[in-house]
């Protein structure tokens, strides 16, 4: 072997050893990475749609990242894969180092906060012109607002000394804030695996992405689409950022902001998807100083990744891909609120810098209520009562629907007469056919059809006919019988009759008369017998009634939103109409019609013969379906004082004086009177300081005999800030048949929808 050959071999060995660590060879990443859009962005490859970076706000110093298909690691600064195994099922990233205390905290006075940076800059310039120094603007790491702060003080008391000066200049919404001090040292990220221990230590950002696109990354056991970036911020905190495509991001937002389980209307979810996309489009980069675009909380938009994705909400995202809301060609700041309490508010009344023509307060009510249908109730002679004083029209109508009572026999004169053996025999046989059960052998014994029957005998007969003997023996104990049958006219009843009565009372089938008797020896009316039969049947097998929502009337019929579709039905000439209000079901002459009302109906061959409209006692607001449509919170004077004094040193709260109401009736400026001082609050800060769900409230006071206020009761409506799209209101509009375009253009004034990609 020549010297030259030996030299070449030696050089090659040296080069080879320089690349080999005490680890297995590197498995190179796949050549085609088009499936992973987040990685495309990192590698500066063209994208079909924008990506977005979400700071996951994990408090731990260590985070675990895993994927069933394996995890690739890349150095984001050098854009090169780390020289370690190409992928692992699980890695752990930890902050390396220990932060020493950086001296005492500093304090500043926050004069205002804005969502618009330009407004913050204008205030900064104004304060500097009035010789405040230093004046600085900081981005709120949680809400993303621009905070304008004055001064740098060593104590809270020193900071409070400039309060009178600010008040004299017309500022009234300020407070002392404690400032974080940035970490001055340098920390590293250490990557380890359960199998091989330490892999790498680096001060550069580390990007983790799944080897297989169908296996999402797990961050501390929570799955996320796209990639995850790890880096250490200026305060020494290990930051975890999820970078993914805009549409994949929205799939993890929409079900958190508007639950598809609670509010399953696709048009409302489409409106929510477009509003969320527009908000992200408009506010992307809001937290760029912190290394990401948006936060995952309600301060931005709630985002919980892959685990919350839902088929219906994902469909809403896909069906509206790339659509955003614009005003005069520019994306709007698409604010939205959970529940507006019947009316949204002008943006500037809640957020001082949101003076936009499209954020105007609007009613959250249908534009009109149809007057096409009869709206008067039944005449007294059409109401059928049983002898215990109960209105029985609803049960009797259902007995006709179930085929127990012939329609021709549905009249007051016939039904209020005494029942006979022949009537009951016929109805029990029909009820058994409805239930598809055999009539018990020996139940019907010979009698004349016009023979009379007493209530006690009727009860025992029905228990046996519908095979409730075992139910009575199991559900009702001897002690229950003694407790439930304490009526003066039951002393001579047999033990069997008492047990059966106890069961029917337990099930709500029969109730006592107003004079505390059951009158078992009376001959029951036909209406009473049918009412009892119907109530028993409902507990065995519900009547074949459907549920839907009124859409609109049409010639000779009605359109009902049923199981997600609009279905046309005819209306029988002999249709039974009812209106339900709370626990009362009242017969009517026709449909008391409001679009979106829930209905219970029965149809045969596409023709409705029973229709019950359920009247909502909360009214007709689109957002009445929210559990927070109305609420009430009570504070004692001491409780409210403690809460207020955690923000301002006012001493005991003496009273609250609303100074200004918005277009919706919201309290947009309020004065808090204290024993040691007063403060005026505006906009969103009102609900924050007072601990309320909304600014839409009135105040009731409880006073002592001496006239001192002892407690405050806030009676309110809604949940959230009340500006822009009302999310539950969108659901209510969709239930009434509105498309997503109608919903968005109702809550955002004068806007257009455009497709950006």
Which tokens is 660 given? 């200004």
In a domain, 82, yes or no: yes
Residues 119 and 151 in one domain: yes
Closest CA to 300 of 333, 271, 331: 333
Instruction: Report the DSSP pairing between strands 565-581 and 607-615.
Output: parallel
Mark residue 322 as left, alpha or beta (left: phi above 0; alpha: psi -120 to 50; beta: remaining): left
The H or E element that residue 607 is part of is strand 607-615
- Res 120: pLDDT: 83
pLDDT at 736 over 70: yes
How many other β-carbons are positioned within 10 Å of the β-carbon of residue 166?
18
- Res 96: pLDDT: 78
> Of 395-399, 451-455, 705-709, which range is least confident?
451-455
Instruction: Report the DSSP pairing between strands 557-562 and 607-615.
Output: unpaired
SS3 category, 519: coil
Residues of the chain with pLDDT > 90, as a percent, come to 51
CA atoms within 13 A on the CB side of 157: 0
Residues 64 and 113 in one domain: no
Which tokens is 754 given? 């455009």
CA–CA dist 444, 461 (Å, integer): 9
Which tokens is 110 given? 């926050």
Closest CA to 273 of 333, 319, 230: 319
Instruction: Report the DSSP pairing between strands 725-726 and 336-337.
Output: parallel
In a domain, 11, yes or no: no
Query: Mean of the pLDDT values across residues 515-526?
Result: 91
Query: Mean of the pLDDT values across residues 426-455?
Result: 80
- Res 714: pLDDT: 97
Residues 421 and 497 in one domain: yes
State the residue for tokens 């009613």.
363
> Of 44-48, 528-532, 690-694, 741-745, which range is least confident?
44-48
In a domain, 50, yes or no: yes
- Res 146: pLDDT: 84
State the residue for tokens 């320089």.
18
Residues 408 and 551 in one domain: no
In a domain, 505, yes or no: yes
In a domain, 370, yes or no: no
Q: Which of 588, 615, 642 is the last residue of a domain?
A: 615
In a domain, 456, yes or no: yes
- Res 102: pLDDT: 45
Mark residue 716 as left, alpha or beta (left: phi above 0; alpha: psi -120 to 50; beta: remaining): beta
In a domain, 364, yes or no: no
CA end-to-end span of the chain, whole Å?
A: 65
CA–CA dist 703, 705 (Å, integer): 7
Q: Which of 15-24, 107-116, 333-342 has the highest mean pLDDT?
A: 333-342
CA atoms within 13 A on the CB side of 414: 10
pLDDT at 395 over 80: yes
Give me the domain span that covers residue 679: 630-717
pLDDT at 57 over 60: yes
Do residues 736 and 621 lie in contact, with contact meaning Cβ atoms separated by under 8 Å?
Answer: no
The H or E element that residue 741 is part of is helix 740-747
Residues 93 and 141 in one domain: no
> Of 181-185, 200-204, 272-276, 411-415, which range is least confident?
181-185
> Of 38-42, 271-275, 571-575, which range is least confident?
38-42
Q: Which of 477, 506, 540 is the last residue of a domain?
A: 540
pLDDT at 11 over 70: no
- Res 143: pLDDT: 58
SS3 category, 256: helix
SS3 category, 173: coil
DSSP 8-state secondary structure symbol assigned to residue 752:
E
Residues 553 and 660 in one domain: no
CA–CA dist 283, 331 (Å, integer): 10
SS3 category, 37: helix
Residues 521 and 665 in one domain: no
Cβ density class 55-75: b for 16+ within 10 Å, e for less: bbebeeeebbbbbeebbbbbb
Q: Can you point out the beta strands (E) in 637-727?
A: 653-661, 667-674, 677-682, 697-703, 709-717, 725-726
Closest CA to 66 of 153, 183, 192: 192
Enumerate residues 6+ apart whose C-beta is below 8 A from 302.
Answer: 253, 256, 257, 296
> Of 255-264, 272-281, 547-556, which range is least confident?
547-556
Residues 596 and 685 in one domain: no
SS3 category, 687: helix
SS3 category, 106: strand
In a domain, 492, yes or no: yes
Residues 419 and 502 in one domain: yes
Closest CA to 44 of 74, 70, 19: 74
Residues 563 and 592 in one domain: yes
> What total number of domains does the chain contain?
5
Tell me the CATH number at 568. Answer: 2.40.50.320
- Res 282: pLDDT: 93
Q: Which of 519, 540, 561 is the last residue of a domain?
A: 540
User: DSSP states of 531-595 as a string?
Assistant: HHHHHHHHHHS--S-EEEEEEEEETTEEEEEETTEEEEEEEEEEEEEEEEETTEEEEESS----T
SS3 category, 432: helix
What phi and psi values does residue 358 have, to the nearest 5 degrees? -85, -10
Query: Mean of the pLDDT values across residues 591-604?
Result: 87
Which tokens is 87 given? 């992928």
Average pLDDT, the chain: 86
- Res 564: pLDDT: 75
CB < 8 Å & 24+ apart, contacts of 667-670: 667/695, 667/696, 667/697, 668/345, 668/349, 668/350, 668/695
Residues 192 and 174 in one domain: no
Residues 516 and 571 in one domain: no
Q: Which of 30-39, 107-116, 350-359, 364-373 has the highest mean pLDDT?
A: 350-359
Do residues 126 and 93 lie in contact, with contact meaning Cβ atoms separated by under 8 Å?
Answer: no
Query: Mean of the pLDDT values across residues 658-670?
Result: 96
């Amino acid at each position: 072997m020549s010297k030259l050959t030996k030299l070449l071999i030696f050089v090659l060995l040296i080069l080879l050893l320089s690349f080999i660590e005490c680890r297995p060879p590197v498995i190179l990443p796949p050549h085609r990475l088009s499936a992973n859009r987040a990685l495309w962005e990192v590698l500066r490859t063209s994208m079909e749609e924008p990506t977005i970076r979400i700071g996951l706000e994990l408090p731990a110093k260590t985070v675990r990242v895993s994927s069933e298909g394996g995890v690739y690691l890349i150095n984001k600064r050098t854009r090169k894969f780390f020289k370690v195994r190409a992928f692992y099922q699980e890695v752990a990233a930890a902050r390396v180092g220990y932060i020493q205390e950086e001296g005492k905290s500093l304090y500043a006075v926050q004069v205002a906060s804005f969502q618009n940076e330009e407004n913050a800059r204008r205030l900064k310039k104004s304060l500097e012109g009035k010789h405040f120094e230093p004046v600085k603007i900081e981005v709120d790491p949680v809400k993303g607002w621009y905070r304008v702060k004055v001064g740098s003080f060593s104590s809270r008391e020193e900071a409070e000394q400039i309060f009178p000066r600010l008040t004299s200049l017309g500022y009234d919404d300020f407070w002392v804030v404690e400032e974080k001090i940035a970490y001055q040292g340098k920390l590293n990220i250490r990557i380890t695996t359960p199998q091989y221990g330490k892999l790498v230590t680096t001060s550069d950002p580390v990007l983790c992405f799944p080897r297989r696109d169908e296996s999402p990354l797990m961050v501390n056991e929570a799955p996320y689409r796209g990639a995850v970036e790890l880096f250490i911020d200026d305060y020494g905190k290990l930051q975890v950022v999820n970078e993914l495509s805009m549409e994949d991001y929205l799939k993890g937002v929409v079900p958190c902001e508007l639950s598809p389980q609670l509010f399953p209307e696709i048009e409302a979810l489409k409106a929510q998807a477009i509003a969320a996309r527009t908000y992200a489009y408009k506010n992307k980069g809001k937290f760029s100083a912190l290394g990401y675009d948006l936060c995952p909380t309600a301060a931005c938009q709630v985002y919980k990744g892959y685990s919350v994705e839902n088929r219906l909400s994902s469909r809403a995202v896909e069906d509206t891909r790339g659509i955003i809301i614009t005003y005069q060609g520019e994306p709007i700041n698409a604010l939205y609120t959970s529940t507006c309490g019947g009316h949204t508010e002008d943006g500037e009344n809640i957020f001082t810098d949101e003076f936009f023509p499209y954020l105007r307060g609007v009613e959250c009510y249908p534009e009109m209520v149809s007057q096409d249908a009869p709206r008067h109730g039944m005449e007294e002679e059409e109401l059928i009562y049983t002898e215990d004083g109960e209105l029985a029209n609803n049960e009797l109508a259902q007995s006709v629907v179930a085929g127990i009572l012939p329609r021709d026999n549905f009249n007051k004169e016939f039904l209020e007469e005494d029942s006979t053996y022949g009537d009951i025999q016929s109805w029990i046989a029909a009820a058994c056919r409805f239930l598809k059960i055999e009539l018990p052998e020996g139940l019907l014994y010979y009698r004349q059809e016009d023979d009379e029957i007493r209530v006690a005998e009727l009860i025992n007969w029905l228990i046996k006919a519908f095979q409730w003997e075992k139910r009575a023996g199991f559900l009702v104990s001897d002690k229950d019988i003694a407790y439930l049958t304490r009526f003066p006219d039951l002393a001579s009843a047999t033990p069997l009759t008492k047990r059966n009565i106890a069961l029917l009372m337990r099930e709500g089938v029969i109730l006592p008369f107003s004079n505390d008797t059951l009158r078992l020896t009376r001959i029951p009316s036909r209406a009473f017998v049918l009412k009892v039969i119907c109530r028993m049947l409902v507990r065995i097998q519900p009547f074949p009634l459907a549920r839907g929502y009124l859409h609109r009337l049409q010639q000779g019929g009605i359109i009902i939103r049923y199981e997600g579709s609009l279905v046309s039905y005819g209306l029988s000439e002999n249709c039974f109409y009812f209106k339900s209000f709370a626990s009362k079901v009242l017969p009517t002459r026709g449909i008391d019609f409001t679009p979106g009302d829930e209905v219970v109906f029965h149809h045969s061959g596409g023709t409705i013969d029973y229709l019950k409209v359920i009247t909502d006692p909360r009214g007709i607001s689109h957002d009445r379906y929210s559990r927070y449509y109305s609420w009430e919170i009570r504070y004692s004077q001491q409780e409210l004082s403690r809460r207020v004094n955690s923000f301002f040193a006012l001493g005991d709260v003496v009273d609250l004086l609303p100074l200004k109401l918005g277009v919706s009736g919201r309290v947009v400026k309020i004065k808090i009177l204290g024993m040691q001082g007063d403060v005026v609050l505006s906009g969103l800060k009102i609900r924050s300081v007072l601990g309320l769900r909304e600014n839409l409230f009135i105040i009731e006071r409880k006073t002592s005999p001496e006239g001192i206020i002892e407690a405050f009761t806030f009676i309110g409506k809604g949940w959230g800030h009340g500006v822009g799209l009302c999310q539950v209101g969108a659901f209510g509009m969709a239930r009434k048949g509105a498309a997503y375009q109608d919903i968005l253009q109702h809550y955002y004034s004068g806007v257009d929808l455009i497709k950006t990609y």
